[in-house]
Structure 1
Amino acid sequence: MKRVNWLLTKQKSKEQLYIASIALLVANFGSSIFSFAMGLFLLRQYSSASIFGISQAIGPIVSLVIAPILRLVIDKINKKQIILFSQILSIIGLIFFAFFIVYSDNQTLLLVIFILVVLKLSDQIFDVAYMSSATLIVNNADIQKLRSYEQMVSSFSSIIGPIIAATLFSTFNMNFGIFIITELICEICALLSMWLIKYTDKTSHKNIAYERNELTYIFKDKLLLFAIWFGCAINFFYTVFSIGLPYVQIHVLKLPNHVYALSEAAVSIGILIASYVLSKRSEFRHPLYISWKMTSIFSVLFLLMGMFLFSNVNSKFVFSIFIIIFNFITGIMIALLNTPTLVWLTMHVPENMQGRVFNVSRTCVQVLIPIGIIISSFCFDKLNPGTVFITSGLLFFVLVVLYPKFFKLDIKKD
């Protein structure tokens, strides 16, 4: 179901592609630095793991609370106005945080939780509005580039942000001021960049799709239901990697810290490289089918890690090389799974339904990730790591790879 946006010239679409990517880079970069610094502060300042756990639970809780409200307005109000509002909300929240942190010495924890809630709220609004406005920013021919650049930006920020945050954290001795200033500058720059983008908003052009409840619409469209399930399953099962691999490296294989750091960076580098390649290649004819085909390789990665852990290899050097290469390939797979799926969703869902559909999708992911973390943590504490990886790989294969076959879905349809 391809639609052509005649209001954007090819040159203008390219310009907006780069402006949007730069705005996203600046916003993600600032958020990465600030979030890492806040997490590090809580870990250093308070001995309770529960406090750090509460900070990590804020995202899913905010998503659940804001989702019903966001669905009422996301497809009714101009997307640009919503995006600018989210950036202004972040800026106001940071200013209040900076003001009160100076005069409230005994309320630091409450203020940190307050600003994390405000920023998570702003991020949720921004992400849903931005994700659902791709066809209003660039032409259809540039959708794949835009989604690829988004992955590149996210990966770059996740590599550089924590490094800069840790450096600033040590240099300024946990001084909040430098992080507030950095985040404010980034948010203001992102706001100005987003303001420059011209949105060809089509919310005034009502059609029958606008009147549908998004859940009814999703469940009636079997391919769309699969795509959302697909995205949620990938993020859910990826928690096995995000929890299991650090656990295996530190507690099972007892690898040195620098190997752990390199292996973590390898994931982001893999995403970065794969996203760059995707941004340069022509548009996929069947993006959802491409992503689905990649799931077979993704499930094999689980099995491969499980079998490796059951092997008789005792060399830490071999383990180190294997883990780094494994994480690099995992990063590539994440890009090859996520980007085509996002492209398909953008092209498949009508413009005046995208906000609500992306809202449902993002909320499901936000809720499933902490559930996946809890389940994975429990499994790695109680079971052999190799068993956990192999079982997860088999479950992923059955629930995702075989899904279209069970329900006789033609994922080449669009």
Structure 2
Amino acid sequence: MNVRKQVFQIIGAIFFGNFGSSVFSFATSLYILQRTGSALGMGFTLIISPIVTLLMTPYIGYVVDSFNHKKILVFSQLGTIVALIIFGFLLIKFAKYYFVELIVLLVFLKIADSFLQNTLQSSVTQLVPKENFQQLNSMVQSSNSLATVVSPLVGAVLFSIIPFGYFAFFEVISEIVTLYLILLVKFGTQQSRGVSGHIGESFISGLQFMRKNSMILVVSLFIAGLNFFMAAMNVGLPYLQIHVLKLSTQQYGLTESSVAIGMVLGGIIFQLFKRQFSVPNAFSFMIMFAVILSSLGVPIFYNIGSSATTIFYCFANLVLGCLVIFINTPLIAYFQTEVPADYQGRVFSIQATITSLLIPIGTVIYGVLFDLISGTWIFLGSGITLALISLVAVIRILKSKTEEDVIAR
């Protein structure tokens, strides 16, 4: 197997899939806002993702753990392509029903996307040797971030020159490229033995597996927890920079894009380290993340001017983006190494559900907090809390490892 070629085919498939979806999602938000003139309609489309993820969790894990992974990927791509083509023609011919058509399409696309992401995560053991797990995972996250940076720019340009109905056909092209690259990827022998019992039983057995394996449960909760604390950034930074520190929208846009750019750079830097990072390493990076998070409210106390403030937040977000790669990559690789193949679909699906639920919960909680308390203390408190939790986790992991070594002797 040509590992380098295999990795680039996988990364290409993920990039084009995410790029097309991100451009379409960006255009969808603009279109709904343009047609309704209300942020409520646009906001309604945003709640579809966590709802679909929650409802589909038992089914996605069951299918991924029971059926051939390459076939799942191919059928999910074909389904996406057919749905987009039908939607494109319906929107052009029956434009007045656009909202219903969009909701149905977004639900279908979210289901297909969930199958795609979960199946790819659960297929790593079939795609590359164990020593390349972390390399592949870091490049996947960087690819996702690059699509996040590029897609709004492309979406804004296309939205100004073509009717919205044709965006579906633009994504069809992107999905066809994704399908072609998936067909090129060589899958090894699938080690999954299949899942016994019906869907409900398989889901419960996945939960029981995580409960019995405390390390896997802790790692899963920490991946989700990181997204919860990132809600402090997602909610607090726009509020502080625009309403409190009076930065321009251009300056805010620059600082906001720094996180995604940092993740792209983090993936590149990660490749330069010719070593495997452990779970304790990931929690150590989490402590560094917490320290920077706690400092994000500092500019409120010092009048350093808008330019210096912009530079401060650009640098902080850049480093935070890099750290996200160094945190997530070893943790995801740990799942792929330690979770048996016939449980990975369910474990990744459950973990994704926890994350998707914690993000809106964190958004609501931090939204209320930033209305009541100074952002400086919120960031400081969040950083200290995250650092203490990470420190306790590192100590516990190292202690468990020591005890296992003693028993082994």
Shared fold per TM-score greater than 0.5: yes
- Alignment partner, residue 258 of structure 1: 250
Paired residue secondary structure (1:64): helix
2:65/2:194 contact within 8 Å kept: no
Query: 1: distance between equivalents of 2:181 and 2:40?
Result: 38
Kindly provide the amino acid, as one letter, of the partner of residue 42 in structure 1.
Answer: I
Q: Does 1:150 align with 2:140?
A: yes
Count of aligned positions: 399
Summarize the Cα distance change of 1:47–1:379 in structure 2 as closer, same or farther, 3 Å threshold.
farther
Q: Does 1:380 align with 2:370?
A: yes
1:58/1:117 contact within 8 Å kept: yes
Paired residue secondary structure (1:55): helix
Percent identity, aligned pairs only, is 30
Kindly provide the amino acid, as one letter, of the partner of residue 248 in structure 1.
Answer: L
Identify the structure with the greater helix proportion. 2
After TM superposition, the structure 1 = structure 2 runs for residues 154-165 of structure 1, keeping only pairs within 5 Å, are 154-165=144-155
Paired residue secondary structure (1:74): helix
1:263/1:327 contact within 8 Å kept: yes
TM-score with structure 2 setting the length: 0.92
1:233/1:400 contact within 8 Å kept: no
Query: 2: distance between equivalents of 1:38 and 1:22?
Result: 24
Q: How far did residue 185 of structure 1 move?
A: 0.2
Q: How far did residue 26 of structure 1 move?
A: 1.0
- Alignment partner, residue 189 of structure 2: 201
Kindly provide the amino acid, as one letter, of the partner of residue 355 in structure 1.
Answer: G
Query: 1: distance between equivalents of 2:280 and 2:389?
Result: 16
Match of 1:244 among 208, 232, 236: 236
Q: How far did residue 39 of structure 1 move?
A: 1.3
Summarize the Cα distance change of 1:51–1:207 in structure 2 as closer, same or farther, 3 Å threshold.
closer
- Alignment partner, residue 56 of structure 2: 66
2:9/2:181 contact within 8 Å kept: yes
- Alignment partner, residue 104 of structure 1: 94
Q: How far did residue 248 of structure 1 move?
A: 1.1
Q: Structure 1 stretch 361-370 or stretch 404-413: which is displaced more?
A: 404-413
Q: Structure 1 stretch 286-295 or stretch 394-403: which is displaced more?
A: 394-403
Cα deviation 1:98-145 (Å, max 9, x = unaligned): 121122222111111121111111111111111110111111122122
Query: 1: distance between equivalents of 2:90 and 2:194?
Result: 45
Kindly provide the amino acid, as one letter, of the partner of residue 202 in structure 1.
Answer: Q
Q: How far did residue 399 of structure 1 move?
A: 3.4
Paired residue secondary structure (2:67): coil
1:84/1:194 contact within 8 Å kept: yes
TM-score with structure 1 setting the length: 0.91
- Alignment partner, residue 5 of structure 1: none
Q: Structure 1 stretch 100-109 or stretch 389-398: which is displaced more?
A: 389-398
Q: How far did residue 60 of structure 1 move?
A: 0.3
Paired residue secondary structure (1:36): helix
- Alignment partner, residue 3 of structure 1: none
Query: 2: distance between equivalents of 1:176 and 1:99?
Result: 11
Paired residue secondary structure (1:312): coil
- Alignment partner, residue 95 of structure 1: 85
- Alignment partner, residue 12 of structure 2: 22
Q: How far did residue 206 of structure 1 move?
A: 6.8
Unmatched tracts of structure 1, length 5 or more: 1-8
Cα deviation 1:202-256 (Å, max 9, x = unaligned): 2465799x98911111111111111101100101110111111111111111111
Cα deviation 1:301-321 (Å, max 9, x = unaligned): 122113342x23242222111
After TM superposition, the structure 1 = structure 2 runs for residues 9-48 of structure 1, keeping only pairs within 5 Å, are 9=1, 11=2, 13-48=3-38
Summarize the Cα distance change of 1:295–1:178 in structure 2 as closer, same or farther, 3 Å threshold.
same
Paired residue secondary structure (2:295): helix
Kindly provide the amino acid, as one letter, of the partner of residue 258 in structure 1.
Answer: Q
Query: 2: distance between equivalents of 1:277 and 1:314?
Result: 31
- Alignment partner, residue 178 of structure 1: 166
Summarize the Cα distance change of 1:411–1:118 in structure 2 as closer, same or farther, 3 Å threshold.
farther
Q: Does 1:355 align with 2:345?
A: yes
Summarize the Cα distance change of 1:42–1:243 in structure 2 as closer, same or farther, 3 Å threshold.
same
Query: 2: distance between equivalents of 1:378 and 1:110?
Result: 32
Summarize the Cα distance change of 1:408–1:330 in structure 2 as closer, same or farther, 3 Å threshold.
closer
- Alignment partner, residue 278 of structure 1: 270
